[in-house]
């Protein structure tokens, strides 16, 4: 798929279907391209004539063909009311300024148009009521940083704007401590490895990020071997920078993709029941916005991670 944004704004996009996408349903194809918009929303846009194939309306079931020109027009964004929901969340720490949450694998951090329910934001709105920062608006109240849907682990939530700004400054200068653990394909022959390679949009697949020669942002990940398993490796990764999919991209660059990562890795029968990458944000440290003291939080490896580690040793 090729993407042309010559129409000016992201809401108006032209796509060209390439060989890898030939034969896919129109709604499925669009859901892959715009992963933050639900399939049902794409189906509505198709019905309403806001998505055209070669200048004509088609059904959601239409099978796209190589060379098809697909024009997608999104409606003007509206102020969305995100509803609080009584969703159980694991709270590691809380005070007047911050909330530390241990996010489970499979939970989206913040809502997007067409997907406004069952996110971490819905849960923290219920828990914190009105006590969240407003800097990121109604869709992302309190959200200073995020981790991928299928990554588990620690997140800090800001309960007021002063705390949000204070924490955001630490993220900007990379003074936050962020350590992850993962299980990757293949044994490694090193104890420590630093990858200092820029990351940008993959020029061959716009759904992915990649190590790029031109136009990327500096990205630095420090890897450490915890244990080699039976054809796999248990690693720790410390982020010096925080780019989209950084650990997943750098692991793939090292030829050691993360088990369960369907975007950058590959599937094997042994782990066919996994619903996401085996990647856990285990340690988070920062200077507290009120006390000025350094605080550090740790979380235990979740059950899904331990199950994979056990299988990887067999």
Distance CA 269, CA 139 (A): 38
Position 38 scores a pLDDT of 66
Number of structural domains in the chain: 3
Q: Which domain holds residue 57?
A: 2-73
Position 8 scores a pLDDT of 33
| Residue 42 Cα distances to 33, 140, 236, angstroms | 11, 22, 38
Q: Give me the sign of the Cα torsion angle 172, 173, 176, 180.
A: positive
Q: Last residue of some domain: 123, 148, 172?
A: 172
Residues in a beta bridge with 227:
234
* 47 SS3 class: helix
Distance CA 97, CA 120 (A): 18
* DSSP H or E run through 303: helix 303-313
Based on the fold, state whether residues 241 and 298 are members of the same structural domain.
Answer: yes
CATH number at residue 246: 3.30.2350.10
Position 194 scores a pLDDT of 98
In a domain, 232, yes or no: yes
* 240 SS3 class: coil
Among the residues of the chain, which ranges form H helices? 26-33, 39-47, 120-128, 161-172, 246-253, 303-313
Q: Last residue of some domain: 46, 73, 100?
A: 73
Position 41 scores a pLDDT of 77
In a domain, 261, yes or no: yes
Count H helices and E strands in the chain, helices first: 6, 15
Position 178 scores a pLDDT of 97
In a domain, 140, yes or no: yes
Position 77 scores a pLDDT of 54
Q: Last residue of some domain: 13, 38, 73?
A: 73
Based on the fold, state whether residues 94 and 165 are members of the same structural domain.
Answer: yes
Query: Annotated active-site positions, please?
Result: 148
Profile the chain (314 residues) by mean pLDDT over runs of 10 residues: 40 81 90 72 88 93 93 71 91 97 94 82 92 83 92 96 92 93 97 97 86 91 97 97 95 97 88 92 97 97 96 91
Position 9 scores a pLDDT of 37
Distance CA 164, CA 97 (A): 9
């Amino acid at each position: 798929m090729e993407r042309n944004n010559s129409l000016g704004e992201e809401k108006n996009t032209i796509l060209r279907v390439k060989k890898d996408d030939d034969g896919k349903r129109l709604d499925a194809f669009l859901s892959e391209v715009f992963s933050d918009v639900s399939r049902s929303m794409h189906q509505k846009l198709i019905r309403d004539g806001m998505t055209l194939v070669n200048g004509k309306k088609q059904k959601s079931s239409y099978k796209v063909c190589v060379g098809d020109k697909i024009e997608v027009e999104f409606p003007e964004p509206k102020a969305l009311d995100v509803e609080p929901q009584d969703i159980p969340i694991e709270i590691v720490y809380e005070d007047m300024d911050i909330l530390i949450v241990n996010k489970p694998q499979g939970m989206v951090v913040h809502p997007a148009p067409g997907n406004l329910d069952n996110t971490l934001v819905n849960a923290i709105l219920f828990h914190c009521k009105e006590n969240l920062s407003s800097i990121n608006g109604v869709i992302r109240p309190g959200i200073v940083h995020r981790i991928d849907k299928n990554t588990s682990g620690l997140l800090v939530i800001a309960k007021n704007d002063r705390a949000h700004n204070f924490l955001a400054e630490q993220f900007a200068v990379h003074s936050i401590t962020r350590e992850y653990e993962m299980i990757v394909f293949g044994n490694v022959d090193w104890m420590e490895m630093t990858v200092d390679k820029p990351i940008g949009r993959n020029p061959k697949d716009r759904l992915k990020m990649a190590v790029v020669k031109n136009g990327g942002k500096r990205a630095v990940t420090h890897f450490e071997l915890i244990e080699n398993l039976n054809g796999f490796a248990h690693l720790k990764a410390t982020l010096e920078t925080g780019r989209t999919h950084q650990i997943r991209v750098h692991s793939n660059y090292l030829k050691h993709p993360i088990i369960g990562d369907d975007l950058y890795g590959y599937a094997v029968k042994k782990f066919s029941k996994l619903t996401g990458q085996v990647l856990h944000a285990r340690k988070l440290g920062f200077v507290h916005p009120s006390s000025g003291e350094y605080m550090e939080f740790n979380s235990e490896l979740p059950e899904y991670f331990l199950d994979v580690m056990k299988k990887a040793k067999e």
